[in-house]
A and B are shown apart, each in its own frame.
Chain A
Amino acid sequence: MVFSSETFLFLFLPIFLAAYYLTPPKWRNLTLLLESYLFYGWWRFDFLMLLCANTLWAYVFSILVEKYQGTPRAKLFVAIGVTGHLLVLGVFKYLNFFIDSFAMLWGTTPDALGIHWQLLLPIGISFYVFHSISYLVDVYRGDAKVSRNIIDFAAFLALFPQLVAGPILRYKDLAPQFEHREHSWELFNAGWQRFLIGLSMKVLIADPVAPLADAMFSAPNPTVVESWLGALAYSMQLYFDFAGYSAMAIGLALMIGFRFAENFNMPYVSRSITEFWRRWHISLSTWLRTYLYISLGGNRKGTVRTYINLFLVMLLGGLWHGAAFTFILWGVWHGGILVVERLTGYDKTAQNYWWSLPLCFVAVVLGWVMFRAPDVGQAFQMYAGMFGFNGIGIRPEVAWMVSREAMTMLAIAIAITIAEPKMRHLWEPQITVNADGTATAAATSLVKAGALSALAIFCLMRLAEQTYSPFLYFQF
């Protein structure tokens, strides 16, 4: 189910909220679990079984790890547990890719080899597998207490606001919230506002800009203007789509008393790629650092090993997004730049240069081209265009695809991105965490309520006329 669909907004969400708040607090996690399973099953109930099996696997192995904590058996069980999860990910997400690559290496096709399985990629698998792995490793490291309550644990893995596209959460951060959540009108309303802002980012900006990116990426031999326009449009589409989704997830969670960590922090104002990864998909970079970089030795094994680890983490981070050479090369691009930045000390001095911001933005946009292109060949076709190998201006056969609406929304997206550091407080709900751990949200002014109402109406009107438009990160 997509947050930006009528079925979710008018059917699932009201019923879910009513059921949740009518359930006695003691049973709310069960309600949350059942409704989250319904949310996931709406896509395919048969694949819900995989999620349940994954949950059971992590639950059982976490108990075994805890039972043998401090003994070699704990290491064995955590290894088996993590390997099991990785196998699931490997089979459903990467098997086809490896078979295709193997066949290509031998100059043949998977069909000719008789090993072409058409496996469907279960939606959200990358996220719930990462949640499970982090939980097992945290229990093994002693960073998290094991969950004996399978309902709470299953509800954590299936928690519908984050189930299919993150943010990637750690059980230890949410465990207290499964035991006690704070509910108030103010927080509910703050969550509602956050959800609406996210919905607007997706429906009013990302979706209208998408056709421009699609058109430019599909144009053969794009010129300088066409390729840069496409790359810029996709950069904005991806940000507003994914950050919009994250805002909706955070808002939904807030409506039912959960507080998720932020997943984006104005990434396009970064001055280095190092800073970019502190601002973009923060939950993924945190996960990669905590569970991959540190497991590989981090910076504890010498300078050369640190660079290798950094590079490897980004390469695997690229592969996490999808089984394709484009994602691997995108990871290589970011990993390579991270290494160079650390090698030269640029990650620390970038703040001193006026040109560091545009330079970083261009590097990010160049990376998105590889990320977006359907294959490496087409990505290089775009690069050829960006560097002037196919002419300069927009060609007549492409000009008709450059819609004024998309260009206007692209300009608005860029303006918001530029204004965000100074103006974000205007549209984001202000939540204060008190000394006792409780939270309060600032009151909503009449003007803000009116503006949000207008946005909501505009979103619903636009949704009414558009067809199915899933979030970009659903494919990962």
Chain B
Amino acid sequence: MPAKPLTIAAAPAFALPVLFLGYAVVANYEFVTGLGRDIAEMPKSAAEYLNGEAAIQIDTYYKKIMPHRLPSIDAMGAARYLAFREGRPGVVVGDDGWLFSKEEFEATLKRTPDLAEAAAGVVEVRDLLAAKGIELVVVPLPAKADIYREHVSYAAIPTDLERLYEDFRTVLDNAGIKSIETRAPLLEAKDKGQLFLTTDTHWTPLGAEVVADAVGSALGKRDTPYTIADAAPVEREGDLSKFIVTGGLAPLVGLGPETVVPREASAPPAASSADIFGPSSIPFVLTGTSYSANPQWSFGESLKVALGSDVLNLAEEGKGPVAPMRAFLDSPTLRDTPPEVVIWEFPVRYLGQTQLWKAGLAKEESQ
């Protein structure tokens, strides 16, 4: 190929392609040697290769094994956070290191159509339960950005965030569905401690307790005297901080794990041994999202104390509020040991999801 001999002066011109192509050799060494190991990830059928699905899978796999990928993601994330105080799509960065889920803000743009659909969806669930003599109680959870709007000053929190919560409760009221006021108690309890984690979508055990107490006050306390105690603290890397930077660079930009102290509720021995001779109904079933399902927040435990009763927690992580409810409606639990009351924890930010009421399609963006 070369028409002329190479000289030292020409070196800068060739350094770049040589370095680039040299790196390609290194990267492909990993690809080739890893193929044997990761062969299970490779597409198998000829049809997949014909219709392009295989190419997409190989692209994804190839991207994943690039040696520079993770360091690049961390470096870019750190640089973006330091330069712009922003993260990748999915997170809204507030003041003082507070992070918020994009879903909370998106929900406000689409609230009107979703509320009509939401009301119809909840009514359908209520009617199914009512046919079996079960009461439905909805626990709408306000957005974290609504409760801590003072930490999102630059983004100018939409007034709609508050209205979304209120409108949701109004449509539930209009449909004759019982719902619990949670926003006001959360706002009132802010001086007691932090109700939501700084770098995570979720609430703290204190925030969960405040809402559990609101549920208990509305439904009345039964007679099992549950007590609650702190469990061993756990370190949690906030689900929203993963949208900024992960790995070793996080501390350099002022992000780090938060400490969560989960709680465990216990009943007196007499109460807890009542059902050892066979299955009996637990009066309350709790369903909903990771706010209920994740034991670190201890919402189910706090509910036991607030309700003075055992609570069967059927909430699931990563599926949004609707899919776990549908799973419960189809479950043997409902058929064999129906509860008296179903408590449905429902973060209002999900109302912005267009796929929410399509069976099983709602997904939580962040965990």
Residues of A bordering B, CB below 8 Å: 1, 5-7, 9-11, 13-14, 17, 21, 42-46, 183-186, 188-189, 192-193, 196, 211, 219-220, 395-401, 403-405, 408, 443-446, 448-450, 452-453, 456, 460-462, 464-465, 468
Contact = CB atoms under 8 A, between A and B. Distances in A.
B19 interface: yes
Nearest to B145: A400
Interface of B: 1-4, 6, 9-10, 12-17, 19-21, 23-25, 27-28, 31, 49-52, 55, 58-59, 62-63, 66, 68-69, 72-73, 75-77, 80, 83-86, 88-89, 92, 105, 108-109, 152, 155-160
Contact of A396 (B14, B66, B158): B158
Contacts of B152: 400
A184 B1 contact: yes
A184 B4 CA distance: 8
Contacts of B31: 11
Contacts of A6: 27, 59, 62-63, 66
Nearest to B74: A465
A351 to B, nearest CB: 38
B14 A185 contact: yes
B16 A405 contact: no
Contacts of A468: 59
B4 A46 contact: no
Contacts of B58: 7
Nearest to B53: A44
A216 B123 CA distance: 35
A398 to B, nearest CB: 8
Nearest to B88: A465
A464 B109 contact: no
B59 A5 contact: yes
Contacts of B159: 396
A397 B158 contact: yes
A220 B12 CA distance: 51
Contact of A183 (B1, B19, B55): B1
Contact of B75 (A189, A396, A461): A461
Given A5-B59, A211-B89, A185 B50 contact: no
Q: Among B3, B73, B152, which residue has the most Cβ atoms of chain A within 10 A?
A: B3
Contacts of A449: 12-13, 15-16
B25 A14 contact: yes
A1 B9 CA distance: 36
A443 B84 contact: no
B77 to A, nearest CB: 7
A185 B55 contact: no
Nearest to B5: A185
Given A10-B66, A185-B2, A196-B16, A403 B24 contact: no
